[in-house]
Amino acid sequence: MVWESNTCIENPYRVSKVMKYVFFAIVLLLLSTGHAAAENASTDVVITVDSTNLRFNPSEVTLQEGQAVRFVWGGQALPHNAVAKDGLFDSGEPSRDVDYRFVFENGTAGDYEFVCEPHESFGMVGTITVEPAPLPPPAEVVEEVEVVEEVPALSLLSSITMLAFVAILRRPVEE
């Protein structure tokens, strides 16, 4: 009997403690999802040329809408380029040094075959699979707003500033 009443008294404290943990968990979740989204946007898929000089590496990649593909090579023995068969992207004239980036915007989901124009017949071809962008996470409904304790301090500060102004402005008038 005594125990029961004890737990009853303790309960409110426990609840507020739990609420604190829940609040922190929500904050952490928001931070981590935001971080993940930012990372995703800056993750380019890099395609280069392998040591045979006649192959893309890798030649098959998968990415999501919003992501970019980067064709990067330098100091190659042969000049290469990367051109989508449907014309979506084109790194330009074949070159021994290329750094070409193309972003697959929303709505570009699909498969894209691309070739190195001078070496297509040698099998220097590849495929980029673009998956639809993931659905945005549902908006967080619960957002505890901490009581803004700064307000009194701010108003105190502003009234001090006002008083100071008044004092400064009044001085010449009184003379």
| Site residues for Cu ion per CB under 5 A | 80, 116, 119, 124
Please say which residue, 66 or 126, places its beta carbon nearer to Cu ion.
126
When the beta carbons of 78 and 88 are compared against Cu ion, the nearer one is 78
| Nearest distance, CB of residue 44 and Cu ion, angstroms | 21
What are phi and psi for residue 35, nearest 5 degrees?
-65, -45
Beta carbon of residue 21, minimum distance to Cu ion (angstroms, whole number): 57
For residue 126, the minimal CB distance to Cu ion (Å) is 11
* Parallel/antiparallel/unpaired status of strands 83-84 and 56-57: unpaired
C-beta of residue 26 within 8 angstroms of C-beta of residue 142? yes
Evaluate whether 117 touches 135 at the Cβ level (below 8 Å). no
Residue placing its CB nearer to Cu ion in the complex, 112 or 119: 119
Answer whether the bond into residue 152 is a cis peptide, omega within 30°.
Answer: no
Nearer to Cu ion, 23 or 70 (CB): 70
Q: What are phi and psi of 40, to 5 degrees?
A: -60, -40
Least distance (Å) between residue 120 CB and Cu ion: 8
